[in-house]
Structure 1
Amino acid sequence: MHRNIRYFARYYRLVAMAVVITVAVIVGSLVVGDSVRMTLVRRVTERLGNTETIIFSRSSFISDSILSVSLLGESARGVLLTDGFISRNGKLVPVFVWGVDDLSLSEGSAKINPALSEELGLEASEDIVLRLPATGLVPSGSLFVTKNYTVGLRLSYEGLVPVDSGGNINLKNEQVLPFNVFVRRSDLAEALNVGGKINLVLTDRQISSTDLDDIWNQELSGLVVRRKADFTEITSGRVFLQEKVVETICQDNLASDRLFSYLVNSIEREGNSIPYSFITAMDRYKGHILRKDEILLSDYAANRLGARVGDTIRVSYYKSEGLKRLDTDARQFKVGRVVPLSEWVSDGSLSADFPGLSNVERCTDWDSDLPIQMDLITDEDERYWDLFRSTPKAIIAYDAVVGDWGNAYGSATAIRIPNARPDLTGLRPEMFGIQLIHPREAGIYAARNGVDFAGLFLALGFFIIVSAVLLMLNPLSEMFYRRRHEIALLRSMGYTRKRIKGMLWMESVPVVGGASVVGVVMGLLYTRLIMWLLGGVWQGATQTDGFGVYPGTWTLIAGTLVSVGLSLGLLRWAIVRALREESHKVYSSGSSLRKKRLGMIVSGMMTVAMIGVNVWVLHSVPLFMVIGAAWIVTAALWGDYRVAKNGSVHPSLFNRSQLIWATIYANRKQSLLSFFALSIGVFIVFSVGLNRKGFADSSQIRIGTGGYSLWCESSVPVYYDLSTSSGKAKLSLSDLPEDTEVLQCLRYNADDASCLNLNKVTTPTVLGINMKALSNSDFQIEQTIYGEDREVVFERVRERTNSVYPALVDATVLTWGIGMNLGDTLYYKNDQGLPIAIRLVGTLSNSVFQGNILVDQALFSEIWTETTGSEVFLLKTGESEREEVKNLISQALSEYGVRVMTTNDRLRQFNTVTDTYLTIFMTLGGLGLLLGILSFIIVIRKNLAMRRDEIRLYRVLGFTDGQIGRIFYKENILVPLYAILTGVIGALISVSANFSNAGTGAWSLALGFMLFFTGCVMIFVRRLVKREIGSSKL
């Protein structure tokens, strides 16, 4: 047995090489899947540390006194987290700013994580200048806030927070490393004017919702309860009481009195006017229930207006419909009573304290976002302010104006209850926006169920496996052919087929077994190489680095068993085929040709039918790839038929052409294997190369961009409408061209569901978008559950069905990002912690919205009422004005941390991931093509080596070496040229749906490669034939 292995070593070496390649690719691909998965799982621990539970408040704050609760454990950390950005070398870098207590930071200093250090390239002596949202306790989206939406914070750079110390902390299920800045919590709280507040609690204990209810009290959410002489008053540090809180308190406490303080534009009567005055709306005043048309005036206001009981008073004020689009409205009231001003002055909390308004010395010092005309303020107004500050000049009915004055952040500024001990037991933390999550469980699920790299690399390396199989069959076929006389001798000596098969099996199995062991080792090396490439050259597919090799025991066992099983199965098939008795399978040549012709016709008709259905009905890119493969099968059947037809004929006269066909027919099985190896390799390389998405087709670009030119994202929400002249003026964008269209989006930040994220996403980021504007754009609907009428679709997505909200999603996000189907439902929590169902009702063609789901803006505001600022907006402008508008936006909104890119660049960013996968596919396909070429070389060399006696016979018959060379050249060049042509045509069929997407460069490169490859094959065959003829001379 060992002597046979040594004697046939040149065949067994090729078999062993094929087995090593097969095992290496299969095992390596499976281990790649394990390694990527384990890297993502380890990254969960890296970004969460030992955190098991997070208590957070998305849009408000929690008192840091919660950290003293024993249930949270001694290791509980209170964190003040906010977005921010750093301007560095003309580039705005978005960062997460973590206010912490446990990093031994000096006052006024900061540390950063390694990823941000690499991005910024800071020197040890440099300062870090942060721009942060000027959050404060009062929501920035409300009307009565400061004009300044950002605040600066200069900090000295104190070094790095290593990864193992929590430097890469991140609450999102993403593998991309965050940019983190760590500062003292007290420094950050002072900058944001939120002393003693946090918005995150991280603990290593498992805390349940019941536990949270037990440890929570209203003071933790900034609710202030004050006992007065005749009532108990409830206010909030954020000024506005959430609507659900107001409803619950009023339901649980009879005769509750709701208050809402407001700065009105004017109080008027018959030409007399008092500008910019505070008014309080109430349900009742001293037990008297106010009518909707009733107003109580202070004696001061009555004197200035010359008003008496029964007179009509007009109150003018601003109201906002969203994005601070201000409208002026007015209501008329009848004076029901004139109240001494001293009563209201003595009631110091009758008017709420608004930062920037209540705490200034003069009216002209008001720091307000409202368009206050300071020239209307008189000396009398200043004297009143000096004496009485924000004491209201009038009181009106709460129900009369709450619809206009109430906002997304609350429906009252105070509640008064005629009870020394109000019932607040109905309040829950969810009503204040406080929620609880268990991030580790969700993170590990996302990591383990993300992109399946094992399946991906098995698919990408499939052609290598096929080529290795063909490479294994060729030497086995040749070896058993060379041993046909040996097998016949054994049969004549009385050996049964079973015994001969056993002998060949026992001889070959050690080769497969030994090669398999080597294959497993090579598979691990293959994995190491792939991991290195994914973190480097192929980082476009993963958007990160730091991948390790983590082979699972069961993965190695399963991969080895599958690979060895495949190899042994092929070996057994080759042995059985070699021992098959031809006498048992005798068919007439006519019958065989008819069957071949029938198979060719059926395969051709099926291929043509699939092309027709796909071109005119389905338009499926994956099906075009299947059709391309079907074409190769059809071409192989047609070639086999032609060879059998021309090669099996025995003419009476000598014919060189017939001689060539007869030779190909005699070696048709090896030729067919080489044909498949070479044609599939060419097909893969060409189809992948031509499937790269270019930007040659302007219609495809418009579908992806919707016709919009610029994509903008901000670190600080923009609360103004960029479509209005007042909004442009507020943002210094009055020079924006008049024909510029702006599409502003609200954003609920969750996980990125684009191809940039390898994790399984269950809650993608949601954009609140104007669906009417979207319907007028060039974005294309691919599929919906509502039918094909575009107008109907966009009408339906603006209406919710019961409690289910409709949403549109990018087609790639639906398939790959979240792995769901049209009509499936996602579940979120609203601002009150209640579950919300969002149904995916339609898909958009590949677009700039990839990674998000789209909900109508009005419906979005129903779910997340306190999200009122725009963080994403698109601009449509003329081509000639695009650069000018881009620079204008970047400069005017620099304090908002706005990052502007063209929509084409955003599409290219996503296409980079696709192109990287195509590069991987092409690289592995190229390796497979090399194996196909090797298989082709083996067949040609074998054919030529076996025909040296035939070459000598040709010479004896008078053929010159040139004539012999031409015959042999034609015999050996037909199959590879036909294989190349078949592969190229198959590739053209597979990319026919995207002809316009491939740029001129891709077509030129493909043509150049085809000509180069064909030339190399022709030169190689010619030289090989010439060498064999030369070596066979007598």
Structure 2
Amino acid sequence: ENEEDDAIDLRTDRIFLDAQTLKAANGPLTALTYIANNLHHGTNATPYSMITGVSSNFLGHITPTGDNMVITEWLANDLQVKSGDQITVDYYVLGLNRQLEERPHTFTVSGILDTEQPGWRELMPNFPGIVDRDNLRDWNPGIDFDSGRVRDQDEDYWKKHRGTPKAFIALETGQKLWANRYGEATTMRFRFNATNRNEIKAAIREKFDPAQIGLRFRDVRTEAVTGDSANDFGGLFIGLSFFLVLAALILMGLLFVFGVEQRAPQIGTLLAIGFTGKTVRNLLLAEGFVLALLGAGLGACAGLGYTRVLVDLLNSDWGGAIGKGNIIYEAQPQTIVYGMISGLAVALFTIWLTVRKLAQTQAITLIQGAPATTDTTRAGRKALLTAVVCAAGAIGLGLAMKDAQGQMKAGGFFGAGMLMLVSCLCVCHAWLGKMATGGGASFATLGAMGWRGSARRRGRSLACIGLLACGVFLLVAVGAFRLDPNDGAQERWSGTGGFAFFGQSDVPVLYDLNTEKGRDEMAVNGDVSLVQMRVREGDDASCLNLNQTREPRLLGVDPQQLIDREAFTFAKGEGWGLLNEPEDGAVPAVVDMNTGMWALHVKVGEVMDYPNEAGGTFPIRIVGFLANSMLQGDLIISEQNFVKQFPSASGYRAFLIDSDDPQATEEELSFALEDYGLELTPATRRLAEFSQVQNTYLDIFQALGGLALLLGSIGLGVVVLRNVLERRGELALLQAVGFRKGSLHWLVLAEHGGLLALGLVGGVVSALLAVAPSLTGPGQGLPVDLLKWIIGGILVSGIFWTWLASVAALRGRMLTALRSE
């Protein structure tokens, strides 16, 4: 309360009143007081004076306008000026990194007032290092101050008039010169009389929103409940497990068919004595139901055990997948029941498909044990048509999903891979049909004869190809997503950006450590090259946080520093220069692709609201995605836009540090910035922490793929053994006409080696389509080494099973088999 001027002054210890406060208070009189380093006219100069920009009617009937200046009588005498003379004012402007720039501005004297009037002294804000000093020479304003320039008359003025302004200019002019990110006025004055004093105070308090001074109220309970709705990876697990389930169903179907075919004479006898095909089919389904029920029960128990082991591993050795979280094992009875019913229904459907055709076969054919014949030409045409449709669908789905995000994109490309897998299997089906009718191969060599033999039992061969393709698909698809944080870690395009360390401090660093002056202020010895970033704390939006994120941490950076270094790789967007381009009023921002897709659920071009310091919000437009970077979890905007929204967030608390000698740099910075709470993390370690989450999930998925491949290998062995045992008589005949056992082994190997190759090619091609979007990011690419191991392992396994089956079939006396041929 300003009793000298019968007024109430609205001021702040922060010196400057921001625009939101001025708008809310809506006071009639506004002033902006600033420190002038020097006022000079000709050779006369007055150091360190207060100048105030005032609104209309602040000085009564005198109102300065434009570049006019009203001065006090004391200043007129000191500079020996009169109305119409010009006075040049030198003043400092504070830029980024606390850099001070001195600027001049010339005014024309338009009037002279008394040296001091009531209420003028209170116009000087509570400048630290000034307001409490008895002598002007003792000022410590925190900027360059030369006490030697202070004269005796300056000291006398300070003792008599304190911070009374020596000159007044128009408020609009003062704001153009001195307004900054902290505010655009220092005083708002309300004049009163005895009757409205309390009314003014009450009105001022009522107009203020606590959020305008950074006090925000949040519904933490609702946010906590919403945050608990973590990303649901159940769909992804089910999608990847689909290939395991499919492989298990194929193997189950094979085994059931083998059992039924072995009983073909019995089934034929039942049909011959009057049983209908439907009755026989129901009988076989009843037998299958018992087996499927037992299998579903055992599978449910095994599934519970597997899940419990998986949860324990996620809470211990595989804890990288859940960051700092913890998973609680909870098995709900309804889930178990639903799983058993689903598994039982799928198993019965598979059995029904296998027995439906058999029950329609002629009784005499079944009694003789001969395989049923089918129209291979027609079936081959249908298969080719289906292959074309599925391939077109796979390509179309891939093109449609190329601009999608998150789970939709991943699911879309996995769907495209599955369609391509079906297309490959249909091509194999058509090719086997052509081979069965005598086309596509000759009997010129044993190898060609073996190829023709693979078409003899087309269903078995196709099932064998499908089993292997499912396992290969899952292993290759999952392996392609594996991240290597050390891949090109020193290169600028990598996930580390080529930086050696990522640093974070508890206390802001107020100086630019890239300059010699900044290093001297912070006692940093030697040259240091780094990118400094301003920080507004927020929620952890990285993959280390399983919960959903509302307000991720915000970083403000000078884009030019990253442009000059060509740091990081953009998965979407045209580079760091986008942060400097206005986006229709929205602030441009860059975010790591995983953060944008999975945590924030945004895509490039979308706008999200973010709270600012003034209690409101401002729009942020996502203009680019970083590919697999160590900046995961943060929204990144330009430093210029950052200080506009958070003017009081001084200094830098995040650092990207270059170094040719990491150990020396770490020791130097840790010692110099010890009081600032600096924590340095090697860039590769930080990136590895994020990569570990994805790689751990991939370990889980690859375990499923390994199980699918194991089933495929078992299926291959079963098919090979069954085929060779059924053809034991044929092999005995070939041996009788002069073929050696070694040649017969080669015949069997050629027949089933083709199936092995087709399964490998179909699985690899389909998997590469499914993971195509992920092959271009840093730390990712075509998994050549993985492909070598998978192909080599399957070839060794296939050759082993084939060799073992042929040895089992050709051992012992072949005469008995020859007699039955």
Alignment TM class, shorter chain as reference:
0.7 to 0.9
Asked if 1:330 is matched to 2:118, the reply is no
After superposition, where does 1:845-884 map in structure 2 within 5 Å?
845-874=627-656, 880=660
- 3-state DSSP of counterpart to 1:665: coil
State whether structure 2 residue 25 is matched by structure 1 residue 249: yes
The residue number in structure 1 matching 2:247 is 467
8 Å Cα contact 2:115/2:166 also seen in 1: no
Equivalent position of 2:598 in the other structure: 816
* 8 A contact 1:811–1:845 mirrored in 2: yes
Deviation of the 1:318 alpha carbon: 0.9
CA 1:555–1:407 in structure 2 vs 1: closer, same or farther (change >3 Å)?
A: farther
SS of residue in 2 equivalent to 1:408: coil
Amino acid at match of 1:241: L
CA shift, 1:885, in A, is 6.0
CA contact (8 A) 2:380 2:431 kept: no
- 1:924 maps to 704
Query: How much does 1:769 deviate?
Result: 4.3
User: Partners of 1:408 and 1:525 in 2: how far apart?
Assistant: 60
SS in 2 for 1:688: helix
Structure 1 vs Structure 2: percent identity of aligned residues?
24
Deviation at 1:478, TM superposition (A): 0.9
Residue of structure 2 equivalent to 1:672: 462
- The partner residue of 2:11 within 235, 241, 262 is 235
Residues 628-637 or 410-419, more deviating: 628-637
**What residue is the counterpart of 1:799 in the other structure?**
582
Secondary structure, aligned partner of 2:706: helix
Instruction: Flag the 1:318–1:853 CA change in 2: closer, same or farther, 3 A.
Output: same
SS, match of residue 283 in structure 2: helix
Q: Read off the aligned partner of 1:677 and give its amino acid letter.
A: L
Which stretch has the larger CA shift, 489-498 or 315-324? Answer: 315-324
Displacement after TM superposition at 1:328 (Å): 0.9
Could you tell me whether the CA contact under 8 Å between 2:38 and 2:48 is conserved in 1?
yes
Matches of residues 547-626 of structure 1 in structure 2 within 5 Å? 547-552=327-332, 555-581=335-361, 602=388
Do residues 446 (structure 1) and 234 (structure 2) align? no
Asked if 1:358 is matched to 2:131, the reply is yes
| Letter aligned with residue 840 of structure 1 | I
Q: Greater relative contact order: 1 or 2 (C-alpha under 8 angstroms, separation 6 or more)?
A: 1
Aligned partner letter, 1:522: A
2:285 is matched with which residue: 494, 505, 508?
A: 505
Contact 1:980 1:1014 in 2 (8 A): no
Alpha-carbon distance in structure 2 between the residues aligned to 1:897 and 1:522 = 50
How far apart are residue 412 of structure 1 and its match? 3.1
The verdict on how the C-alpha distance between 1:508 and 1:721 changes in structure 2, with shifts beyond 3 A counting, is same
> What's the RMSD between the two structures over aligned residues?
4.7
In the TM superposition, what is the alpha-carbon distance from 1:354 to its structure 2 partner?
3.0
Q: Contact conserved, 1:512 with 1:567, CA < 8 A, in 2?
A: yes
Cα separation, 2, equivalents of 1:348 and 1:381: 16
CA change 1:984–1:242 in 2 (3 A) is closer
The SS at the match of 1:931 is helix
Query: 274, 287, 292: which one pairs with 1:494?
Result: 274
Q: Which amino acid aligns with 2:289?
A: V
Question: Are the counterparts in 1 of residues 69 and 110 from structure 2 also a CA contact under 8 Å?
Answer: yes
CA distance in 2, matches of 1:587, 1:950: 22
Cα deviation, residue 800, structure 1: 4.4
Q: Taking structure 1 as reference, are residues 646 and 411 closer, same or farther at Cα in structure 2, changes over 3 Å only?
A: closer
Tell me what 1:101 maps to. none
User: Could you tell me which residue of structure 2 aligns to residue 717 of structure 1?
Assistant: 508
Deviates more, 1:695-704 or 1:502-511: 695-704
User: Contact 1:278/1:390 (CA < 8 Å) preserved in 2?
Assistant: no
Q: CA deviation at 1:959?
A: 6.0
Q: Secondary structure at the match of 1:266?
A: strand
SS in 1 for 2:223: helix
Q: Deviations over 1:231-250 (max 9, x none)?
A: 22333344433332223333
Distance 1:290 1:493 in 2: 119
SS at match of 2:30: strand
Q: Secondary structure at the match of 1:415?
A: strand
SS in 1 for 2:330: coil
Are 2:321 and 2:694, in contact at CA under 8 Å, matched by a contact in 1? yes
**1:282-297 to 2 correspondences below 5 Å:** 282-283=54-55, 287=60, 289-292=62-65, 293-297=68-72
Partner of 2:527: 736
Q: Which deviations, in whole Å up to 9, do the C-alpha atoms of 1:21-78 show, x marking residues without a partner?
A: xxxxxxxxxxxxxxxxxxxxxxxxxxxxxxxxxxxxxxxxxxxxxxxxxxxxxxxxxx
Distance 1:729 1:956, change over 3 A: same
Is 1:416 aligned to 2:189, yes or no?
yes
C-alpha separation in 2, matches of 1:1022 and 1:340 = 111
Contact 1:691 1:998 in 2 (8 A): no
In the TM superposition, residue 557 of structure 1 has moved relative to its aligned partner by: 4.6
The structure-2 alpha-carbon separation of the partners of 1:730 and 1:261, relative to structure 1 and needing over 3 Å to count, comes to: farther
Distance in structure 1 (CA, Å) of the matches to 2:218 and 2:389? 57
Tell me the equivalent position of 2:618. 836
Given that 1:748 and 1:765 are in contact with CA atoms closer than 8 Å, whether structure 2 keeps it comes out as yes
Secondary structure class of the residue paired with 2:36 = strand
Work out the CA distance in 2 between the residues paired with 1:453 and 1:653.
52
Match of 1:166 in 2: none
Conservation of the 8 A alpha-carbon contact between 1:313 and 1:335: no
Contact residue 123 and residue 165 of structure 2 kept, 8 A: no
Aligned match for 1:397, one of 148, 152, 169 = 169
Pick which of 990-999 and 766-775 moved more. Answer: 990-999
| Matched letter for residue 870 of structure 1 | Y
| Distance in 2 (alpha carbons) for counterparts of 1:455 and 1:687 | 16
Equivalenced residues, count: 787
Tell me if 1:1015 matches 2:788.
no
- Once residues 404 and 276 of structure 1 are traced to their aligned partners in structure 2, the CA distance between those partners, rounded to angstroms, is 17
Residue deviations 1:579-623 (CA, integer Å, cap 9, x gap): 2336999655555566667777x4898599889989x999x9988
Asked if 1:1026 corresponds to 2:801, the answer is no
Confirm or deny: 8 A CA contact 1:295 1:397 kept in the other structure. yes
Query: Secondary structure, in 3 states, of the residue corresponding to 2:614?
Result: coil
Are the aligned partners of 1:690 and 1:1003 in contact in 2 as well (CA < 8 Å)?
Answer: no
State the alpha-carbon separation in 1 of the partners of residues 763 and 311 from structure 2: 31
1:688 paired residue number: 478
Cα distance in 2 for partners of 1:396, 1:732 equals 42
1:267 and 1:316 in contact (8 A); partners too: yes
Q: Which moved more, 1:674-683 or 1:472-481?
A: 674-683
Retained in 1: the 8 A contact 2:493–2:569? Answer: no
Q: 1:658 to 1:595 in 2, by over 3 A?
A: farther
Output the CA distance in 1 between the equivalents of 2:398 and 2:235: 31
Q: Are 2:538 and 1:750 aligned?
A: yes
Q: Which structure has the larger Rg over C-alpha atoms?
A: 2
Equivalent residue number for residue 266 of structure 1? 38
Contact 2:13–2:126 (CA under 8 A) maintained in structure 1: no
Kindly state the Cα deviation for residue 320 of structure 1 after the two structures are TM-superposed.
1.9
Of Structure 1 and Structure 2, the greater strand share is in 1
Decide which of 368, 371, 377 is 2:144's aligned counterpart. Answer: 371
CA apart distance, 1:482: 1.5
TM-superposed CA distance for 1:833, in Å, is 2.6
Distance 1:955 1:375, change over 3 A: same
